[in-house]
Structures are given as structure tokens and as C-alpha cells.
């Protein structure tokens, strides 16, 4: 008789509707310890719900305030979401609701058609989908030799070789033109029209110094005077502009590339479920009895069927909890293991793992998390109404930002956005791309040489014919020295024409 009364009391308790007008009820809510949904609060030494924290705890607080009920979170012993056994019984949190041991089940419980035959699901409070979680490649410091030669990588070796050869040829031609051209500083200094220092502006050493100064965008005291030399210099300046811009641009692109080639290969291994299924080097893990495993095994998608076959062949593939799968991936070498879990929990673990993990979203399947209530529960309408209100006023978004936020920003690679997450490639500038600047420089060198020959011919047969008996003037420096060594000569320069000796003395006195 007593047992019948207890059963009747339990049925009445489960069937009592949740409305805002009734007296406050106390509900037993089955859950499981799964960060960040439900976690033990080590800082709180209280009892009951005070010992737990997480997304579900805060969600139940909001629902309890709206629907006027108190609750008690009771984690299931087997720590399973809920699986139908061959004998017809359910395990996990779903099983507690089916067996009437709990009024509700709350947690990251996926809405599935099989579960919906035995329990009712509320309006989804979170949308998610299966993703592939893998470990990021280790970003080790490159060897010292590679870092030392980093400044040479923007150009290929043949470009560096021809650029050095172009410098030597240009410096030599500038010197030859300065030495032979009658309109250059050397000839002007010999004719007394320039100082000795000006005449030495383009010696062999200074010609090469002038050429290398342009490479580093530095100025020079003097520039060539002849037309032929100026043509050579102009084309050399153009070559320097192309050389400098190409080097800086390519070096910036080189420094922008973070991952090493081995890291790029690791990222490129898996960009979808199909890649994961076909890659025999990677061990795939799924949580045993969880909805993700059932979705993959029962999927009609070809990629999922191939992946299901791979999982079935490997006994290591099944893990008991999500934490166990994440731990296996963390402890393995990059690109050797992967675990398939729901994206919501994948986001949490990748955020908390110090950016050591990332996940790939294939977008082939979408799932939802919902609250579990007894089949044909009269509370369903009130719970759905409350969840819709929390979604519309932003409370669900606020809770998700609170419990799923971490320090790692770039944790997801989406197949649908390959161009956004693609690892940039670096190509050193080859001779074909740089040949235009070398070709223009070669034209300038040839044209400058031809113009120089023309100037020599013009000077020899035109200007020399104007005064064939003209005496050669002394250099400016020599005339200056002569005047300074003869005081009388200096005074005579100041004496007006026809001045007497007395006038000279008067002027000297003044």
C-alpha cells in the first residue's frame, strides 16, 4: 500500500504544470559534469546547487525565476548523455527522465529522433554541429642559419648574382665615361674650368661609390655632366627603384608567413570529414554512446559512411568522455589524432587549451541542444515560452559569451571559407619577374655608351676646330697659387688704371 502511494505521489509531482501562478515547486534536474555546462565550484564550500557552476546552472536560475520553481542539480553516476540499451532501458541523463527519477534533464544533450520517441525536447537553447578537433603544429624557432639568411630570401640566387653583376658593369661604365668624355669633370679640371677636387669626383673608386649610394637611396656630392653618363645614371636609378620596391615588398610577404612548411602540411591534411576519412595516418576518436557517434554511423552522406567504416575498424576510436578525447589529442603529435565533438564544446576546449587546439567545421550536419522532459509533459509549453523569451532578450547569448569565452581568437578553420583561412604562400622573386628592370638597365648602358662616343666625336671634330692654335690655360688652382705668392700682383689687381705710386701708397694706407 505504501509503495502504491509513493508511485502515485511521484506521478502527480511530474505531471504538475509549471506556471507562474502556482506555488513554488522543487524539481530534480538530471545532468552530467561537462565543462562549461556543469562544473564543480571548488571555491564554494556550500551544499546543493551552490557546489556547481556553469552554463546550465545559470540557465536554470533564469528559468526558475520566470516559472517559479526551485531545482536541484543531480549529476548522473555513469556520466553519459543517454543511450538506448538492447534491453530497452536508457542510460545517462535521458534515462533518469525516462525512469521518472528526475523531472528534467539539462546539459549538452543533442536532440535526436531516437530520443524523441521516449522523451520530449524543449525549444533548442543552443545550436551546434559535429566538428574535428586537432592539435596545432608546434611553432618552433627556425635554426640560426635560416634566420641569418632570411634577408637574402626575397630574391632567388640568380637574381642576386645578376644584380651584383649589373652593379659592377654600371660602375665600370660610369668610370669609363667620366674618364673619356670631354664634357666630364676630369677634362674640365684639366682645362682649368674646374678644381682638382671636382676633377676627382668620378675616379674609379668614386664611380663605384656613387653607384652603390643610389642602391641605399643616399645622395652624392656631384653627378655626371655629360649626356651619355646621365642616360646611364637614369636607367640605373630606375633599376634601383624596382630593386628596392621588389625587395621590400617580398621581404614583407616573407615575414608575414608564420607557419613553417611542415605546419602548412599539417593544416592542409584535414579540411573536411572526407579528408579525415581518407587519411590513414590520423586516428579518429568519438565519444561512445553520444549523439555524434550515432549521427556519423547512421548518416547517408558518403563522407560520413567512409568515416564510420574507419572508426569501426579501430578499437582505439571510442572514448568514454569528451575530456578523454581532448587529452589524447593534446598528448599526441600534431596531425596524428583527431576527436569529433559538438562545436559548442569544441569552442570551449580550444579556447581553454592555450591556443594549442583548433577545429575544422564542415557544415554537413547541424544539431541542437534542448532540455529533456517526460513524454507528453504539460510543462513543455511554459518551458518553451521561457526559452524563447530568454533568446529574444539576449540572455542566452550573454550566458554563452560568459562561459565559452577564452584567450584564443583563431581557433576555427571552415571549409566554406578556404580563402579566409588559407595559409599564404611565399615565392622568392625569380629572374623572369626581374628581367624587365635588367633589360631597361642594359638598354641604358648601351645607349649611354653610344652617346658618349658621339660626344667624343663632336668634341674632337667640332669644338677643337674652333680655335686650333688656342693656348692651353692654366688650371684655376695654379693661377690662384701664383697670385697668392706675388703681393705686388695682388695689389696691381686692386690698382685703378693710370694710378701713380703715391696714389698706390695712399690706397695701401687706406
331, 365, 399: which is the final residue of a domain? 365
> Rounded mean pLDDT of 400-407?
77
| pLDDT computed for residue 371 by the predictor | 93
**Would 309 be classed as within a structural domain?**
yes
* Helix residue ranges per DSSP H, 227-378: 227-256, 261-269, 273-278, 291-298, 302-313, 322-331, 343-352
Three-state DSSP state, 130: strand
The angle, 0 to 180 degrees and rounded to 10, between the axes of the packed helices 380-392 and 55-67 is 110
Q: Over the stretch 206-224, which tens digit does the pLDDT of each residue have?
A: 888 888 888 887 877 777 8
% pLDDT > 70, the chain: 70
**Which tens digits make up the pLDDT trace of 268-326?**
677 778 888 888 888 889 888 777 788 788 878 787 888 888 888 888 888 888 888 88
Q: Which pLDDT value is given to residue 218?
A: 80
Is 430 a domain residue?
no
Cell of 454: 658621339
pLDDT tens sequence across 114-156: 888 999 999 999 888 888 888 887 666 666 666 667 777 788 8
Same domain? 241 vs 148: yes
Contact (CB, 8 A) for 121 and 367: no
Does pLDDT of 10 surpass 70? no
Among residues 38, 166, 30, 5, the alpha carbon closest in space to that of 90 is found at 30
Q: What is the pLDDT of residue 290?
A: 78
State pLDDT tens for residues 60-105.
999 988 888 888 888 998 888 888 888 888 988 999 999 989 999 9
Q: Is 289 helix (H, G, I), strand (E, B) or coil?
A: coil
pLDDT bin (cut points 50, 70, 90) of residue 484 is very low
Q: Are residues 48 and 115 in the same domain?
A: yes
pLDDT of residue 413: 54
Average pLDDT of every residue of the chain: 75
Point out which residues pair with 71 in neighbouring strands: 27
Please check the confidence at residue 392 and state whether its pLDDT lies above 80: yes
Residues with Cβ < 8 Å from 444, sequence gap 6 or more?
Answer: 231, 232, 234, 235, 236, 238
Provide the pLDDT for residue 497: 42
The reply to whether 477 falls in a domain is no
Are 224 and 290 members of one domain? no
Distance of CA 156 to the CA centre of its chain: 25
| Residue 437: inside a domain | no
pLDDT for the residue 423: 46
Q: How far apart are CA 123 and CA 451, in angstroms?
A: 87
Measured distance between the N- and C-terminal CA atoms of the chain, rounded to whole angstroms = 147
Judgement on whether residues 353 and 375 belong to the same structural domain of the protein: no
Cα dihedral sign for 232, 238, 240, 246? negative
User: Could you give the strand order of the β-sheet that contains 337-342, starting from the edge strand earlier in sequence?
Assistant: 318-319, 283-287, 337-342, 130-135, 357-361, 412-414
Q: Look up the domain containing 37 and give its range.
A: 23-127+368-407
Q: Could you give the 3-state DSSP secondary structure of residue 26?
A: strand
Mark which of 201, 235, 257 sits at the end of a domain. Answer: 257
- CATH number of the domain bearing residue 160: 1.10.287
Residue 480 lies in a domain: no
Residue 183 lies in a domain: yes
Q: Which of 365, 395, 416 is the last residue of a domain?
A: 365
Q: Do 38 and 117 fall within a single domain?
A: yes
Give the pLDDT confidence score for residue 483 in this predicted structure. Answer: 40
Cβ atoms < 10 Å from Cβ of 457: 10
Task: List pLDDT tens digits, range 410-422.
Answer: 555 555 444 444 4
Helices of type H across 393-462: 395-403, 418-421, 431-458
Gap between the Cα atoms of 69 and 61, Å rounded: 9
Region 351-367: mean pLDDT is 74
Please answer whether residues 373 and 11 qualify as being in contact, where contact means their C-beta atoms are separated by less than 8 angstroms: no
Instruction: Give the mean model confidence (pLDDT) for residues 325-336.
Output: 86
The residues near 365 (Cβ < 8 Å, ≥ 6 apart) are 129, 130, 295, 299, 304
Q: Are 350 and 382 members of one domain? A: no
Q: CA 147, 149, 155: angle at the middle one, nearest 5?
A: 125
Examine the domain organization and report whether 234 and 298 are in the same domain. no
The backbone torsions φ and ψ at residue 478, rounded to the nearest 5 degrees and listed phi first, read -65, -40
Give the pLDDT band (50/70/90) at residue 385: very high
Q: Cell for 149?
A: 639568411
Q: Are residues 48 and 197 in the same domain?
A: no
Confidence (pLDDT) at 508: 39
Instruction: Determine the average pLDDT of the residues in 393-400.
Output: 88
pLDDT of residue 494: 35
Same domain as 27, residue 120: yes
pLDDT reading at 231 higher than 90: no
| 217 shares its domain with 321 | no
Question: Are 107 and 250 in the same domain?
Answer: no
CB atoms < 10 A from the CB of 380, how many? 19
What domain count does the chain have? 3
The pair phi, psi for residue 26, each rounded to 5°, is -120, 120
| Mean pLDDT lowest among 96-100, 169-173, 182-186, 325-329 | 182-186
Query: Between the CA of residue 359 and those of 17, 233, 326, 356, what are the distances in Å?
Result: 42, 56, 12, 11
For residue 87, what is the domain's CATH number? 3.40.190.10
**Residue 111 lies inside a defined structural domain of this protein:** yes
DSSP state of 462: I
Shared domain for 286 and 302, answered yes or no, is yes
Q: Is residue 497, in this structure, part of any structural domain at all?
A: no
Amino acid at each position: 500500500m505504501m509503495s502504491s502511494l509513493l508511485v502515485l505521489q511521484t506521478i502527480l509531482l511530474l505531471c504538475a504544470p509549471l506556471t507562474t501562478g502556482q506555488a513554488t515547486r522543487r524539481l530534480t534536474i538530471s545532468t552530467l559534469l561537462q565543462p562549461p555546462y556543469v562544473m564543480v565550484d571548488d571555491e564554494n564550500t556550500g551544499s546543493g546547487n551552490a557546489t556547481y557552476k556553469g552554463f546550465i546552472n545559470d540557465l536554470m536560475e533564469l528559468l526558475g525565476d520566470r516559472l517559479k520553481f526551485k531545482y536541484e542539480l543531480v549529476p548522473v553516476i555513469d556520466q553519459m548523455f543517454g543511450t538506448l540499451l538492447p534491453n530497452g532501458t536508457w542510460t545517462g541523463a535521458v534515462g533518469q527522465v525516462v525512469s521518472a527519477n528526475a523531472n528534467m534533464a539539462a546539459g549538452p544533450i543533442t536532440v535526436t529522433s531516437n530520443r524523441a520517441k521516449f522523451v520530449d525536447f524543449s525549444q533548442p537553447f543552443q545550436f551546434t554541429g559535429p566538428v574535428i578537433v586537432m592539435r596545432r603544429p608546434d611553432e618552433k624557432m627556425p635554426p640560426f642559419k635560416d634566420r641569418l639568411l632570411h634577408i637574402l630570401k626575397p630574391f632567388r640566387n640568380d637574381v642576386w648574382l645578376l644584380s651584383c653583376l649589373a652593379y659592377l658593369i654600371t660602375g665600370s661604365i660610369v668610370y669609363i665615361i667620366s674618364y673619356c668624355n670631354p664634357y666630364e669633370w676630369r677634362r674640365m679640371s684639366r682645362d682649368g674650368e674646374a678644381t682638382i677636387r671636382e676633377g676627382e669626383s668620378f675616379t674609379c673608386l668614386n664611380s663605384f661609390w656613387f653607384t652603390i649610394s643610389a642602391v641605399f637611396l643616399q645622395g652624392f656630392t656631384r653627378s655626371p655632366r655629360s649626356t651619355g653618363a646621365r642616360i646611364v645614371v637614369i636607367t640605373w636609378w630606375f633599376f634601383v627603384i624596382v630593386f628596392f620596391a621588389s625587395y621590400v615588398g617580398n621581404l614583407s610577404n616573407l615575414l608575414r608567413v608564420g607557419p613553417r612548411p611542415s605546419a602548412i602540411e599539417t593544416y592542409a591534411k584535414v579540411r573536411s570529414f572526407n579528408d579525415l576519412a581518407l587519411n590513414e595516418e590520423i586516428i579518429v576518436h568519438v565519444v561512445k554512446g553520444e549523439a555524434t557517434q550515432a549521427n556519423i554511423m547512421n548518416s547517408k552522406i558518403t563522407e560520413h559512411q567512409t568515416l564510420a567504416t574507419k572508426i569501426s575498424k579501430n578499437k582505439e576510436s571510442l572514448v568514454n568522455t569528451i575530456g578523454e578525447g581532448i587529452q589524447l589529442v593534446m598528448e599526441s603529435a600534431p596531425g596524428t589524432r583527431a576527436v569529433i565533438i559538438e562545436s559548442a564544446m569544441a569552442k570551449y576546449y580550444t579556447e581553454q587549451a592555450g591556443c594549442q587546439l583548433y577545429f575544422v567545421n564542415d557544415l554537413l550536419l547541424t544539431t541542437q541542444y534542448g532540455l529533456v522532459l517526460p513524454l507528453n509533459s504539460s510543462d513543455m509549453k511554459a518551458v518553451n515560452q521561457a526559452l524563447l523569451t530568454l533568446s529574444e532578450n539576449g540572455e542566452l547569448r550573454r550566458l554563452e559569451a560568459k562561459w565559452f569565452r577564452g584567450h584564443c581568437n583563431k581557433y576555427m578553420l571552415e571549409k566554406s571559407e578556404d580563402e579566409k583561412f588559407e595559409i599564404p604562400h611565399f615565392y622568392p622573386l625569380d629572374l623572369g619577374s626581374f628581367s624587365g628592370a635588367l633589360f631597361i638597365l642594359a638598354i641604358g648602358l648601351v645607349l649611354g655608351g653610344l652617346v658618349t662616343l658621339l660626344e667624343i666625336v663632336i668634341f674632337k671634330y667640332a669644338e677643337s676646330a674652333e680655335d686650333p692654335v688656342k693656348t692651353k690655360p692654366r688650371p684655376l688652382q695654379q693661377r690662384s697659387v701664383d697670385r697668392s705668392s706675388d703681393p705686388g700682383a695682388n695689389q696691381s689687381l686692386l690698382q685703378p688704371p693710370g694710378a701713380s705710386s703715391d696714389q698706390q701708397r695712399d690706397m695701401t694706407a687706406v
